Amino acid sequence: MTKISLKEAGKRFNKDWIFSDLHFDFNQGQHYAIIGNNGSGKSTLLQIIAGYGSLTKGKIDWEGHDATSIFQDISFAAPYLELVEEFTTLEQIHFHTQFKSLQKQLTVESIIELIGLKKAADKQIRYFSSGMKQRLKLALAIFSDSPILLLDEPCSNLDKEGYELYHHLMSKYAMHKLIIVGSNDTAEYQFCSQYLNLMDYKSKSIEAKY
């Protein structure tokens, strides 16, 4: 898969249009930031790109895929995506690998060490801090052998050390991917060279037929 295209895309909740008339292409190997005020639709658009939601109007095209198969090529990390609380760190990663392969140079054990959770390898996730959970969510997404990486506010709940870890992991393990980051924090998308500002796609007047 090399390209995701949005054509005349719009999303409405009740009578309110979140964004409309959006035309944009995301191309292989490029790094994009989706920006905009709170409530501008960053998370909504990322979920649509991931195949978790649908547009109210317009079209999204995943080259060579449809919404039922796009998950094979996409990894997604967001603070609102849940882990299995009853699993340990080891069990969660092993479970994840049943659906997504890891990048070839990595093992489950090496991942746990890289994200600083070696001492918590056998600890149930229910006892994790929010920062520990976010580290694990990022690891599952970044280390998956998938060509597209979606990140929604990736440094939520992370401290300064967590931010540094995030940038280290991204620079070493993710730069070859198509990356789309939804955020208002420039530190989370400083490696992105292209921007989609959803404030440019707010419409005060949309035809009633939609």
Residues 31 and 40: beta-carbon distance below 8 Å? no
In this prediction, residue 1 carries a pLDDT of 53
Q: DSSP 3-state assignment of 2?
A: coil
Beta bridge partners of 32: 180, 194
In this prediction, residue 203 carries a pLDDT of 64
CA distances to 89, 160, 201, 208 from 23, in Å = 40, 36, 9, 21
208, with CB counted inside 10 A (0-12, 13-18, 19+), is exposed
Angstrom distance (rounded) from CA 10 to CA 16: 11
In this prediction, residue 209 carries a pLDDT of 41
Angstrom distance (rounded) from CA 169 to CA 117: 14
- Going by their DSSP bridges, the two strands 3-13 and 57-62 should be labelled as antiparallel
In this prediction, residue 210 carries a pLDDT of 39
Which of left, alpha, beta for 21 (phi over 0: left; psi -120 to 50: alpha)? left
Angstrom distance (rounded) from CA 195 to CA 65: 24
Residues 206 and 23: beta-carbon distance below 8 Å? no
List, for the chain, all residue ranges whose pLDDT scores fall below the cut of 70. Answer: 1, 203-210
Kind and range of the H or E element at 148? strand 148-152
In this prediction, residue 103 carries a pLDDT of 96
Angstrom distance (rounded) from CA 151 to CA 173: 14
What is the pTM (predicted TM-score) of this model?
0.93
Hey, what domains does the chain have and what are their CATH numbers?
3-201 (3.40.50.300)
In this prediction, residue 11 carries a pLDDT of 96
Closest C-alpha among 125, 28, 40, 41 to residue 74: 28
89, with CB counted inside 10 A (0-12, 13-18, 19+), is buried
In this prediction, residue 31 carries a pLDDT of 98
In this prediction, residue 142 carries a pLDDT of 98
Angle at 117 between CA 112 and CA 122, to 5 degrees: 85
